[in-house]
Chain A
Amino acid sequence: MSIVRRSQQWGTFARMWHVFDATWQDPYQSSQIIAKYLLGRHKPISHPMNRCGDHVVVINSSEIALRGDEWQMRVYFHHDTYHGGASWTKAWELHKKDPTMIMKKAVYRALGNNLTRHQAYARLHVFLDDKIPLEIQQNLSSQIKQLRPVPQRLDQISPEELENFPQIVKLPETYVLT
């Protein structure tokens, strides 16, 4: 193989590092996309026998948003193999214990059940906030688009802006809203 071919191959089969911001994202929908990147299914060269998966760094996993009443209804099962060792943890409890766990479990499930799962899962790095180690930050080279835009919350808008926002009706200060 000539050095030109070697270099071409090195570039083609490069392991990229993507970042995904999980703020206000549904972990179970976004894990479908993340799994695609981890398994390399987003590349035109992908093939079941071709290990071309990328690394994905998920940040702000503590800010995820579950749909509807899933925080109460979604339950995680664990058994410690002893009698009476079964335990059921609700999503909000698990999230309180470890804010990265729901994201990790969602991606683990989305990777599918075959031998590539563990290698692909090892390429997932989840962080609860946007503070990530410098050596990982330097590896990054691309960003995965969020599923939905993050809406602005009322408490994040500065009071000046709220003051200057055009109003249809200017209510008198003495008017009491009940």
Chain B
Amino acid sequence: MFRLRVCTRLAAQLPRAALVNQIFQREIKRSVRPVLIELTKRKRMQKNPISQPRNKWIDWNRDAELYAFNQRLSEKFKTDLLEQAFTHRSYIIQEEDERKKVGLESQLQLVDNQELIDEGKQIASLVVENYLNEVLPLAPRECILALKNYLLAEGNLAKTSSGIGTKDLILTAEYPVSEETLMNTFYALVSALNRSVDLEHVGKFIRDIVISTLAEKDLIEIWCPEDPMEILNDILDREGRAYAESRIIGQTGVNTLIPVYNIAVYSNKEFLGSGMGDSIEEAEKMAALNALLRMFDLLDSSKPISCNLPIRDAECNSSLESWKRSDKV
């Protein structure tokens, strides 16, 4: 088994003569080892290792790859729009410069994707916000915006973009492709899909590829209210209920380095939430936060974000300043 693996690995590395050896010989020949050592040494001595983007290799068939991209995602991108979405401004400038150097005067018949990017940004923002409003109807507007910013952040979108296989298809002057370019390409693709099919279909595309990543995330890690007690009291005041009152419902190891306090908050003897902490202040904060999350329906036990709802316009959630439970329930 090991032997087989070594052989296959060698086969990839060695010239054809060695490969023949591997097939007809039982063991690896004595000459193999010094050759490999020499090769490794030379590789290490190379100062600037040559690396080329995949799309500069001679066996690269761009048309086939574009077709495969469409098929892989089961989408119906129009070919010219897809071509445009992958073509960045920097690539066109670079190409024209090279042509001038050679002495060619004719203009390139390429259109860059700047227009698509701008349009795609608007569409993505709209769709994500709408969907989050629908799926988290009780969450405040601040939470929705934070989640949206997280989803549409550069790093996240770049990861998504390279995940669907845009990295090698992008035509740009820079190499390796930067995160910003990857993100812009995703926006351009969104817009291209919008022009190819329709807005609802784009909504589903974004829902399946971008929003579904939220299902495995801890939402509180992305958005957490700063001063939960104050917010809780504001909400209770607005609803015409008594202010939150905290009570210690359990404590242990008070005089040790690792004390635990369990504090619950009540409003007019009605239980709102409870939390644990290593000090009374911390536990009180956690209790207030628990009460808030209970109201906003963001607990572990509340309904998970579903990724199969239809795309439609949703009402904008109210912000923390005007959030009221009676509006929602």
> Which residues of A approach B to under 8 Å, CB–CB?
1-5, 7-8, 10-11, 14-17, 55, 135-136, 138-142
Contacts and interface: CB of A to CB of B under 8 A. Distances in A.
Given A2-B218, A138-B255, A139-B254, A11 B260 contact: yes
Nearest to B259: A139
* B contacts with A: majority SS: mixed
Given A1-B221, A2-B218, A7 B277 contact: yes
Contact of A4 (B255, B262, B282, B289): B289
A139 B289 CA distance: 26
Given A4-B293, A138-B254, A10 B218 contact: no
B286 interface: yes
Interface in B239-277: 250-256, 258, 260, 262, 275-277
B230 interface: no
A135 B252 contact: no
Contact of A2 (B224, B253, B290): B224
B252 A10 contact: no
A7 B276 CA distance: 5
A10 B220 contact: no
A14 B260 contact: yes
Interface string B214-232: 0000101100100000000
B224 A3 contact: yes
A4 B278 CA distance: 13
Nearest to A55: B253
A28 B129 CA distance: 65
Given A4-B220, A10-B278, A14-B258, 11 more contacts: A2-B220, A7-B276, A10-B276, A11-B276, A16-B253, A17-B252, A17-B253, A136-B255, A139-B254, A139-B256, A141-B252
Contacts of A55: 253
A17 B286 CA distance: 23
Contacts of B252: 14-17, 139-142
Nearest to A54: B252
A135 B255 contact: yes
Contact of A139 (B253, B276, B278, B282): B253
Interface size class of B (residues with CB under 8 A): 20 to 34
A135 B259 CA distance: 13
Given A3-B220, A8-B276, A14 B253 contact: yes
Nearest to B274: A11
A11 to B, nearest CB: 3
Contacts of A8: 276
Contact of B251 (A1, A4, A7, A141): A141
A55 B255 CA distance: 13
A120 to B, nearest CB: 16
30 contacts: A2-B218, A2-B220, A2-B221, A2-B224, A3-B220, A3-B224, A3-B289, A4-B220, A4-B224, A4-B290, A4-B293, A5-B220, A7-B282, A7-B283, A10-B260, A10-B276, A10-B277, A11-B260, A14-B260, A14-B276, A15-B253, A16-B252, A17-B253, A55-B253, A138-B255, A139-B252, A139-B254, A141-B251, A141-B253, A142-B252
Nearest to A140: B252
Contacts of B255: 135-136, 138-139
B286 A7 contact: yes
Nearest to B275: A7
Q: Which 4 A-B pairs have the closest CB atoms?
A: A11-B276, A141-B252, A14-B260, A2-B221
A4 B223 CA distance: 11
Nearest to A16: B252
Contacts of A7: 275-277, 282-283, 286
Nearest to B252: A141
- Which interface residue of A3, A8, A136, A141 has the most chain B CB atoms within 10 A? A3
Contacts of A15: 252-253, 256, 258, 260
B217 to A, nearest CB: 10
A3 B253 contact: no
- Which interface residue of B256, B289, B293 has the most chain A CB atoms within 10 A? B256
Contacts of B282: 7
Contacts of A17: 252-253
Contacts of A10: 260, 276-278
